[in-house]
Structure 1
């Protein structure tokens, strides 16, 4: 892994940690509004994979987006890490889903059963930073690169970010770039 990638990762980890709870919620609401506007331009999308926020990591509150999509009658999916691997199992969630917080602070659907991700049309991707070409940096474990590599190329990859893009993020052959990234002020298209 490049030292430049690690430098950017640490910089944005620190920037995100410095946000107050109120600021995280405020920006999350603005990102949700941007997402709603963008999503309403894509009536063909019915099956959406969403990540669930890790509160202690100051992640974007995607529960706001989940609620919006459920109100629109869309099918919502999330992932659960397959123990001891980099694999993510896809599970369907709905308004009756009960969640437990795992040891990393991730909300995990209880009593969920893995299903095929073949219907997914859009994946919301967690990230720390992105660049003007759609390259992204996450926490460095590679879960989403592995997950995305198993999906159809046509699946839209949409990042959510509290911050604007940096000029350049070094990319590696296994990195899968974004199609869009949504911030509190703008939707970036790559």
Structure 2
């Protein structure tokens, strides 16, 4: 058990902002974690529209995009309800859905395990493992907010895709890295993705 390679589940849905999930996966792999990656069909559509990714050969695309890092990526099709991560007996550190669509958030909030992403999230809840959702939608109506509240009461971390500007971001990468860094902070994973408030004083 002590030699088990630590791994995280990462979900990428069809919400805009797929670069967040891509950067999170890149960072976890570079740190040395394995990543079990689940991408919804709408998520693949957004990866094509926003990043130009090709979905014809999905596993080859992921190997090209995420290869050459310390950790390994394991791709699980959204319909593979019998995948390893669908069982609580399979040990992972936790799960992050980034970005998280309102449809997926609703499925998780109501325990609707009708695909692998929702089932894997349900496993995190029933096993008491960390679950982080990064909703990317605006404006929000009452049902969205009620679903977030219900999940928050269950211990799920809700980290909306809201960038900060006190650190004076210079480009889009800075903004993406800040949000990914906040997710990693919530999971107590060390990183150097952004400059923290007060760092300039510590360096003096």
The TM-score bracket by the shorter chain reads: 0.3 to 0.5
Normalized per residue, the structure richer in strand is 1
Identify the structure with bigger relative contact order (alpha carbons < 8 Å, sequence gap 6+): 1
Whichever structure has more helix as a proportion of its residues is: 2
Bigger Rg, which one: 2
